[in-house]
């Protein structure tokens, strides 16, 4: 897409993705993500660290915007208020004072995670046509956007870390594993067996769902992989066409570009 917005001139953006377990933020420059950082907490200390990083990334010489997409409502308003108080700049929040970047064709669009929608918008921009988006994080979402750029819905299942925690929390003797896949499908210890089971089980589930979507749509879509847990899986996801680590951050920027274009007439 064209990332220029009329005659607004140089545009510097800081994009912020508030997830369930961490906050990612970066500079968004002409369709590229630069200087991405991850803050591994969404509690008060994490939010204050985000404020420091946002301050570092702001460029006072350029037209400035800060854009937030969040799936943690209790963090969203608090973070936006603190950014405004500290930097005297009110952030734009996707889904609130910034419209969603694509049309959402489900019965209750407001209940769809804004991260899923932003990732779908960026995947559509990346491929230029309909595609399937696999996002591996605390949860794994597998979503479909059609050739008209309309988000059609998808699936949600636990990510590797939640699977590991569930096994530990709900059994008497299975340990909580911190490290994921060790390389051998035949685990020679309880820990290795859990690692292998989660890894290959997750890869198999993703493959199965992608195939079911293809069957449902009567076509095989290009598959775009993203998310913090994707790199550990991609070696065994040979049907994936593109791995785009910063897809959601890209989509957050696209949401603002579309808003700015509409506002400029």
106: in domain: no
3: in domain: no
Cβ–Cβ under 8 Å, residues 193 and 187: yes
pLDDT at 15 (0 to 100) = 93
The tally of CA atoms less than 13 A away on the side-chain side of residue 70 is: 20
**pLDDT mean for each 10 residues of the chain (265 residues):** 50 85 86 86 72 73 77 89 86 92 96 96 96 96 98 98 96 92 87 95 98 97 95 94 95 91 71
Give Cα 164 to chain centroid, integer Å: 21
pLDDT at 42 (0 to 100) = 66
**Residue 27 forms beta bridges with which residues?**
14, 34
Statement to judge: residues 154 and 168 lie in one domain: yes
Q: Give the model confidence (pLDDT) of 25-83 as tens digits.
A: 898 887 889 888 888 766 667 777 777 878 777 765 455 689 999 999 988 988 899 88
- Computed from CA positions of residues 46, 47, 48, 50, in that sequence, does the dihedral angle turn out positive or negative? positive
Indicate which CATH number applies to the domain containing 181: 3.30.420.40
Bridge pairing between strands 139-145 and 131-136 = antiparallel
Statement to judge: residues 177 and 240 lie in one domain: yes
Statement to judge: residues 143 and 237 lie in one domain: yes
Statement to judge: residues 221 and 165 lie in one domain: yes
154: in domain: yes
Residues designated as active site: 115
Statement to judge: residues 150 and 223 lie in one domain: yes
Statement to judge: residues 42 and 161 lie in one domain: no
Statement to judge: residues 129 and 232 lie in one domain: yes
Place of tokens 């491929």: 127
1: in domain: no
CB-neighbour burial class of residue 72 (10 A; exposed 0-12, middle 13-18, buried 19+): middle
Statement to judge: residues 48 and 75 lie in one domain: yes
Question: Structural domain tally of the chain?
Answer: 2
Statement to judge: residues 85 and 146 lie in one domain: no
Domain of residue 125: give its range: 111-246
Statement to judge: residues 145 and 235 lie in one domain: yes
104: in domain: no
List of residues 6+ apart from 8 with CB closer than 8 A: 63, 260, 264
45: in domain: yes
Statement to judge: residues 242 and 256 lie in one domain: no
Statement to judge: residues 123 and 233 lie in one domain: yes
105: in domain: no
């Amino acid at each position: 897409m064209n990332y220029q917005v009329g005659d607004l001139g140089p545009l510097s953006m800081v994009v912020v993705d508030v997830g369930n377990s961490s906050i990612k933020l970066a500079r968004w420059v002409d369709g590229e993500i630069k200087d991405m950082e991850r803050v591994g907490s969404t509690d008060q200390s994490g939010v204050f660290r985000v404020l420091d990083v946002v301050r570092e990334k702001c460029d006072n010489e350029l037209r400035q915007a800060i854009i937030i997409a969040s799936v943690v409502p209790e963090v969203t308003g608090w973070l936006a208020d603190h950014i405004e108080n500290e930097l005297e700049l009110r952030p734009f929040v996707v889904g609130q004072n910034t419209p969603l970047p694509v049309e959402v064709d489900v019965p209750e669009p407001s209940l769809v995670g804004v991260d899923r929608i932003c990732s779908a918008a960026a995947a559509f921009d990346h491929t230029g046509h309909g595609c399937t988006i696999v996002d591996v994080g605390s949860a794994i979402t597998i979503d479909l956007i059609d050739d008209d750029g309309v988000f059609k819905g998808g699936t949600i299942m636990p990510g590797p870390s939640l699977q590991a925690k569930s096994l530990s929390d709900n059994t008497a003797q299975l340990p909580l594993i911190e490290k994921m896949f060790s390389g051998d499908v035949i685990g020679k210890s309880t820990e290795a067996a859990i690692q292998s089971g989660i890894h290959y089980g997750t890869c198999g589930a993703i493959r199965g769902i992608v195939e079911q979507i293809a069957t449902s749509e009567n076509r095989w879509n290009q598959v775009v992989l993203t998310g913090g847990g994707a790199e550990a899986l991609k070696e065994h996801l040979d049907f994936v066409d593109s791995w785009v680590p910063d897809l959601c951050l890209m989509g957050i920027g696209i949401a603002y570009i579309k808003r700015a274009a509409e506002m400029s007439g």
